[in-house]
Structure 1
């Protein structure tokens, strides 16, 4: 999968984080590697982002986990804006499953294959 998606070795090493998060499990042996620990429909893009990148937050003071320390948090006028941005991003990421992405990839491949066989339009 890493080769197919042109992922760097650094990104590939993030699989240990995904394993700790319960998204993948390692399989030992000659045909070993990593496989999903749950069905693709049960894993969201948000789950993957959180496992590989950490909490979803545009700024640290509205982190999903422990909010960053901010001396101005009690009267900051932009904090609520950033919290709403965080919530919107999380809502979208949590609404898309790996199964959804696989379906989109299949559709894209079908469109690409169909485009290769369509005769060019005459001008």
Structure 2
């Protein structure tokens, strides 16, 4: 499974919202500028995140987006599934011979384990220089 820019940039949006959680709405323009991304592309990504209830939009001059829940309750898996679809490393796993099927299932389950046990809070707590404040990733 290869995560596309949809998943990567969508996760970027969500991490930025997690970093600003409790401070009020954040505009897509602010997120785009901070991460050197296209605001137009982020507008396309925010719609499914809003439609599935992961973010809420706030209208008005000081509007923008906020997380619909606390960052500790939203996982990377939640975001990736909305933007990328089901997590599967290989199409047609059920048609594979048993030995290969078992391998693909183990890979899928390992990916799910990491994504579903990594919250936005975990990701937002990483410092800008790439060092984790208190969280380690193991694959």
TM over 0.5: yes
Q: Which has the higher helix share?
A: 2
1:92 aligns to what? 114
Which segments of structure 1 move beyond 4 Å, counting only runs of 4 or more?
106-109
1:118 aligns to what? none
**Residue 83 of structure 1: SS of its match in structure 2?**
helix
Compute the displacement of 1:79 (Å).
2.0
Whether the aligned pair in 2 keeps the contact of 1:61 and 1:79 (CA below 8 Å) is no
**Residue 35 of structure 1: SS of its match in structure 2?**
strand
Q: TM-score, normalised by structure 1?
A: 0.69
Q: TM-score, normalised by structure 2?
A: 0.62
Compute the displacement of 1:108 (Å).
4.3
Whose relative contact order is higher, 1 or 2, with alpha carbons under 8 Å and at least 6 apart?
Answer: 2
Whether the aligned pair in 2 keeps the contact of 1:58 and 1:82 (CA below 8 Å) is yes
Q: Which runs of 5+ in 2 are unaligned?
A: 1-30, 134-139
In terms of Rg, which structure is larger? 1
**Residue 104 of structure 1: SS of its match in structure 2?**
coil
